Structure 1
Amino acid sequence: MGNRSSQVQGRQVRTEEMASTIMQECIKNCMECFQTCTSLVQHCLGMGGEHAEPFHIGVLQACSYVCETSSKLMLINSEFHSDMCRICADICIACAVDCEKLGPNDPMMKHCAEVCRRCAESCSKMAAH
């Protein structure tokens, strides 16, 4: 029975390590998305036109804020981090779609869309835990 118990404990430790790795990756992705969206606001305002319209700036800001909040909730291991990550994934996808629509030839907009999609994928994994 002792051998069985150590096998179960070993699996539990590996599962906890895997969950921790997924969380650390998600925190990193959320922080990168937060930084990218925050800096892109100024870029878009400088471009003017449809890039500076309230809807687009609002999506960038919402994405930035929710990514920052998600990372903070994961850092404190809040019981609400899964719910926030679910919302974060949805907002990140909306931001990626809007950036792709407005800036298919703009390297900064394309980069933001890639970062947002990576964050959304990571947050979707966290929401499942």
Structure 2
Amino acid sequence: MHQQNQTLLQALNACVAACEHCASACLQEADVQMMVRCISLDRDCSDICALTARLVARGSAHAAHLLRECAEVCRLCAAECGQHQHEHCQQCAEACRRCEEACRAGLAA
């Protein structure tokens, strides 16, 4: 169980980092207005992943509820970032997909 949580925590933390980087990089793009939804989802995804990681790490009874929501937000963020050709968006989309899979696997365990 500990190893499974380690894998999940790594995916959650990697997603936080990728989303934070993506949001910051999107703010530097020439057409920031076009990136508003991406930035918004990056921020939401980063926050839910960070909170979920804390609850999983402490073995909270509420972790399962957040894992479901986290998987959904990661799915939405991956879909949005995947629409943009910027390298930071593509990297974020991949981190979000891995995190969604890890959250779903955590729920199944």
> TM-score normalized by structure 1?
0.79
Corresponding residue for 2:17?
35
Corresponding residue for 1:9?
none
Q: Tell me the amino acid that sits aligned with residue 89 of structure 1.
A: A
Find the partner of 2:92 among 80, 92, 112: 112
Question: 1-side partners of 2:10 and 2:41: how far apart?
Answer: 20
Corresponding residue for 2:34?
50
Task: Determine which structure has greater relative contact order: mean sequence separation of CA pairs < 8 Å that are 6+ residues apart, divided by chain length.
Answer: 2
Displacement of 1:56 after TM fit? 2.2
Find the partner of 2:64 among 82, 94, 97: 82
Aligned length: 107
Displacement of 1:49 after TM fit? 3.4
Corresponding residue for 2:102?
122
> Residue 79 of structure 1 aligns to a residue in which SS?
coil
Unaligned runs of at least 5 residues, structure 2: none
Corresponding residue for 1:15?
none
Question: 2-side partners of 1:69 and 1:29: how far apart?
Answer: 13
What is the Cα-based RMSD across aligned positions, in Å? 1.1
Displacement of 1:40 after TM fit? 1.2
Corresponding residue for 1:25?
7
Identity value in percent:
26
Corresponding residue for 1:3?
none
> TM-score normalized by structure 2?
0.92
Are 2:21 and 2:88, in contact at CA under 8 Å, matched by a contact in 1? Answer: no
> Residue 46 of structure 1 aligns to a residue in which SS?
coil
Q: Which runs of 4+ in 1 moved over 4 A?
A: none
Q: Which has the larger radius of gyration?
A: 1
